[in-house]
Amino acid sequence: MARIPSAVVAASGLVGGYGVARWTRKRQLGGAVLAVAGATAAQQWRRQAGDRAAVALTVGYAAAFAGSHPLAKKVGAWPAVFGVAGAVALASWAIADRRG
């Protein structure tokens, strides 16, 4: 089975979490998607880049989620989500995925 890059897992968690919350109107369900993808990405980050990098990327993932809310008031919900997802994916690739 091919390995899915952690950048894809993390970005998918942010986009998918928002999408699920919006389309189902169940914020908890979107939060579950966000959390599962974040935990999966964190495990990959730890394996690929070590504990310190995993902690930093996990904090970045959570900050991106939190930061998307005020950003959405300025640029709209989907552009904000795609923007922070792209930033997290780029950081994940630069710190963890390109090593592999």
Quickly state the pLDDT bin for 49 (edges 50, 70, 90): very high
pLDDT tens per residue across span 8-26: 999 999 999 999 999 999 9
pTM for this model (two decimals) = 0.93
User: CB-hemisphere CA count at 13 Å for 49?
Assistant: 23
pLDDT at 2 over 60: no
Nearest Cα to Cα of residue 17 among 35, 44, 40, 42: 35
pLDDT at 1 over 90: no
3-state secondary structure of 1: coil
Give mean pLDDT, residues 60-85: 97
